[in-house]
Structure 1
């Protein structure tokens, strides 16, 4: 799933290539991806892309004052094209293409989504705040308001595991499954630790890990072409997606806890005092 660093890099990529260009037309191939109808996507034809922003994991194209806001969800992606094939795409079937944006010079981009579970969302709005997910976002980890004191207020009184808190977009914007694993490994904190039990020192350490991990990932992604971002993300991860490999810090084996639709990775030595966490799904299978 694209998270804050990848979406920020995509925003930068589009600022360089799309800003200043006029949208010739927009083809909607997967009508389920379009979540709004007023203004219609046809209204973007003939308008100029004047800016590109990011809100958490949402990508926001400002098109002469109206906005095309995109959430790539779990398996969505943006693919830039210098030119499109002569034959127009056909909707339906196994075609992963959801939406195509044609620019005035013949270039443009596709929004694609792999798999059968569809979550890609496209909003045509007059104000990004009209998108419910944007309006509900918590503070951005790279914003000035996200301080250790602000994080202390966030965790205070929350009887929830810190892994889940970091992934909740209404609490902190932009961090998903992968970077929450990376943040907790850097902070040497168990993903199952209850947020409300954290000391001021632990919160300060967590804040530093959040800001550093996210900022470093953004820096690594700067200037990369859209097609190279996924590979860069995977290369930069130390524990997420590396079950069975050696922890780059201590050499212990990276472990995994599986859930119904996701999993987390961690290092027992670095994060849980050497004790493996219970994998509840595996435990149920063994009963």
Structure 2
């Protein structure tokens, strides 16, 4: 799943490559991925890409006003372009991604429901980008809004994990009782951290993923806050400037415990272990994080803290 560093890098890449280009047309291939209908996709045609940013793990692409009207395939009626900027806000979910194309192989409109492409934005220089989603569980969500706060997931976001100060960070974690792994990935508590970077943060902080937030000392919260800033900042530095196609590989290369089950911990050399759940898993180092004791690999076990 793309997390804060990858989404920030995608936004930076779009600012570098797409800002200033005018939208030629939009093709909606997966109707279920588009969660709004007003403004319609046709509102983007003729507009210029003016900015790109993020809200937690949501990508936000801004399109300024334009003067021309073009057709749109796959959603909405043609209409004039007027008024305030329109935002394409996207949550890529677990298997979604943004692919930037310097040139599309064909000018022919895509057929709805065919292949992994959910939405295509064609720009006036022949380039553009596809929003794609692999697998059978289609959870990618795209919203066309004039205010990002109108997107329910954005409206519920807590403070940004990359910029929250220690006081805010500590207040948010102590205000939500639970296992620290789950609380860190709760977007209403802190925005931007997912499964992979929470594993990395907890390893850096030398904390068990099942430590309870209300039992964390001020010192532990300070270490955890510093680890969060370090891990996310390092990942952003590695990611920003990379082409969209290279970001997944860059993320994998920087991970120390996540998705490295059975490999040696780069800090102590012990074997990285895993706890599996119904639809996810976590990785940790027993020596670094749990006093050398492996965690039971079942959801309702008595947990090591």
Q: Judge same fold: TM > 0.5, yes or no.
A: yes
Per the alignment, residue 184 of structure 1 pairs with: 202
Match among 235, 238, 255 for residue 217 of structure 1: 235
| 1:77-156 alignment runs, 5 A limit | 77-86=97-106, 87-93=108-114, 95-143=115-163, 146-156=164-174
**Ranges in structure 2 where 5+ consecutive residues have no aligned partner:** 65-84
Runs (4 or more) in structure 1 with deviation over 3 Å come to none
> Which digits, 9 at most, give the CA deviation of each residue in 1:221-242, with x for residues without a partner?
1211000000000000000000
- Looking at structure 2, the residues matched to 113 and 158 of structure 1 have their Cα atoms a distance apart, in angstroms, of 32
CA distance in structure 2 between the aligned counterparts of 1:158 and 1:26, rounded to whole angstroms = 41
Query: Aligned to 2:131, what secondary structure does the other structure show?
Result: strand
The structure with the greater share of residues assigned to helix is 1
Give the equivalent residue in structure 1 for 2:74.
none
- Mapped partners of 1:217, 1:243: distance in 2: 20
Give, in whole Å, the separation in 1 of the partners of 2:144 and 2:298: 41
Hey, what's the Cα distance between the residues in 2 that align with 1:277 and 1:55? Answer: 34
RMSD over aligned Cα atoms = 1.2
Correspondence for 1:29 = 29
Distance in 1, matches of 2:182 and 2:118, equals 30
Equivalent position SS for 2:88: strand
Q: Distance in 1 between matches of 2:102 and 2:172?
A: 44
Q: What is the CA–CA distance in structure 1 between the aligned matches of 2:133 and 2:139, rounded to whole Å?
A: 8
Q: Paired residue for 1:197? A: 215
In structure 1, stretches of 5+ residues that fail to align are none
Partner residue of 1:206?
224
State the number of aligned residues: 280
Cα distance in 1, alignment partners of residues 179 and 51 from structure 2: 38
Deviation of 1:88 (Å) = 3.4
